[in-house]
């Protein structure tokens, strides 16, 4: 008689498949989201070893309380003028996003991605970093350019891939590149910017420079190998870099659980690598500023890298190609417990007597007109919806410093075929 299998009494193995708490049509209740009181997180000295404040990877660094007051040890104590500059940049980003979103819907460009609800993440960080620090963004950090004063017309030229596009129409709309503004070329391949940022920071240190690097990715991208390779190099060589993870709850239609959010926080990745980790209220501009400033000081004083998780919420679709009503409850954006970053900063300025609703409304109108004027100026150079705006043979430019013979042959073959086709738009 055959003996019974030694594990016959055990249940079969099974896999856990993450599932978001709310789907289309579900009522939303974010009561399970732990939001600690503003000002409750301690602020270690920037020279403190990373292993001595692990709890900061599991709580939330917050500055603005429910009354709009800045409280606690992380309050950066910014001047009213600085706060107003940050608020204006956030309002400008929101107005820019709205106009470019409508431009895509009007067929003027092929693609756009809004940062609605995440404005504080890029804007506050840009003000906390030095002007010559190098930023390696993902595709929702256009606020870095706006905060650093990059011309709106140039951003729109790139979105329209028109004759004024300094990238020659070779990048997908919103994938900017502006070296002079410390803004590294955006890539559509997820998280390639992480090892690039760490490598740049290592080179800066090797050369005895004082500039640091900062990079951003979404929480879903922490599942990419590039993220972990970058963290390893950053930890081993104590690279002067700030590693930002924007946890906006959704990676296109996959919720954050698929990247590990059900198991722990994304800031906890730092604990495993032995580097400093902070989890920050990403809708609190003062908290983002303070955390970035703190991390930048650590990097600049050779204390090594810091990983910051910005806990926020993507208020609209992933892009103009996405329909979030197909995978999440329509009630989520308004129910998000950390509120609207623009409104929270505005309310803070009003609470301290440095702003009012009338001035805010006037600023909204002024910024809207400014963005509208920039759009009209950019559209003088053409729009993507009207076809090719760059010389066709420029397709081969910018790959090699000196074009090799085989590309020259291919370019000539292309031009000959276009000439034979009789299409006059092929060259300008």
Residues involved in catalysis: 314, 318, 327
Structure tokens at 343: 């409104």
- Tokens 């997908």 belong to 172
Please provide the DSSP assignment of 88-136 as one string. HHHHHHHHHHHHHHHHHHTTSSS-----TT-HHHHHHHHHHS-TTSEEE
**Cα(144)–Cα(181) distance, integer angstroms:** 9
**Cα(344)–Cα(37) distance, integer angstroms:** 15
| CA 1 and chain centroid, separation | 65
Q: Which residues contact 171 (CB under 8 A, 6 or more apart)?
A: 158, 177, 185, 186
Q: Which residues contact 61 (CB under 8 A, 6 or more apart)?
A: 41, 74, 278, 279, 280, 281, 287, 290, 291
Q: How far is CA 426 from CA 116, 284, 382, 393, 419, in A?
A: 38, 50, 16, 9, 8
Nearest Cα neighbor of 235 from 271, 192, 282 is 271
- Tokens 């350019």 belong to 145
In this structure, the number of other CB atoms found within 10 A of the CB of residue 80 comes to 12
**Cα(95)–Cα(102) distance, integer angstroms:** 11
Between CA 241 and CA 352, with CA 312 as vertex, the angle to 5 degrees is 95
Structure tokens at 284: 């609190």
**Cα(263)–Cα(191) distance, integer angstroms:** 22
What residues are paired with 218 via a beta bridge?
246
**Cα(40)–Cα(62) distance, integer angstroms:** 8
Q: Strand locations in 301-418, DSSP E?
A: 306-311
């Amino acid at each position: 008689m055959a003996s019974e299998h030694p594990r016959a009494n055990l249940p079969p193995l099974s896999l856990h498949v993450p599932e978001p708490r709310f789907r289309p049509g579900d009522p939303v209740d974010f009561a399970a989201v732990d939001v600690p009181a503003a000002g409750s997180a301690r602020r270690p000295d920037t020279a403190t070893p990373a292993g001595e404040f692990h709890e900061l990877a599991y709580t939330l660094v917050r500055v603005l309380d429910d009354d709009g007051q800045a409280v606690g040890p992380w309050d950066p104590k910014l001047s009213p003028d600085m706060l107003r500059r940050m608020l204006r940049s956030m309002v400008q980003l929101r107005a820019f996003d709205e106009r470019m979103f409508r431009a895509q819907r009007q067929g003027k460009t092929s693609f756009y991605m809004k940062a609605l609800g995440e404005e504080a993440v890029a804007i506050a960080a840009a003000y906390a970093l030095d002007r010559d620090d190098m930023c390696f963004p993902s595709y929702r950090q256009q606020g870095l350019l706006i905060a650093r004063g990059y011309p709106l017309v140039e951003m729109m030229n790139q979105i329209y891939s028109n004759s004024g596009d300094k990238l020659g129409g070779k990048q997908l709309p919103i994938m900017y590149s502006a070296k002079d503004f410390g803004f590294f070329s955006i890539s559509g391949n997820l998280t390639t910017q992480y090892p690039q940022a760490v490598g740049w920071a290592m080179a800066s240190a090797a050369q005895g420079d004082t500039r640091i690097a900062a990079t951003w990715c979404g929480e879903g991208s922490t599942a990419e190998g590039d993220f972990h390779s970058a963290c390893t190099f950053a930890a081993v060589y104590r690279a002067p870099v700030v590693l930002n993870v924007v946890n906006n709850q959704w990676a296109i239609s996959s919720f954050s659980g698929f990247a590990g959010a059900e198991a722990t926080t994304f800031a906890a990745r730092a604990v495993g690598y032995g580097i400093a980790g902070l989890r920050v209220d990403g809708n609190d501009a003062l908290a983002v500023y303070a955390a970035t400033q703190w991390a930048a000081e650590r990097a600049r004083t050779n204390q090594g890298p810091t990983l910051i998780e910005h806990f926020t919420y993507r208020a609209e679709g992933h892009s103009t190609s996405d329909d979030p009503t197909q995978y999440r409850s329509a009630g989520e954006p308004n129910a998000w417990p950390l509120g609207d970053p623009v409104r929270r900063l505005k309310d803070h300025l009003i609470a301290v007597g440095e702003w009012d609703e009338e001035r805010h409304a006037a600023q909204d109108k002024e910024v809207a007109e400014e963005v509208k004027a920039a759009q009209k100026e950019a559209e003088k150079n053409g729009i993507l919806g009207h076809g090719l705006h760059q010389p066709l043979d420029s397709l081969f430019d910018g790959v090699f410093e000196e074009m090799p013979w085989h590309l020259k042959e291919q370019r000539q073959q292309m031009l000959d075929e276009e000439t034979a086709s009789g299409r006059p738009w092929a060259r300008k």
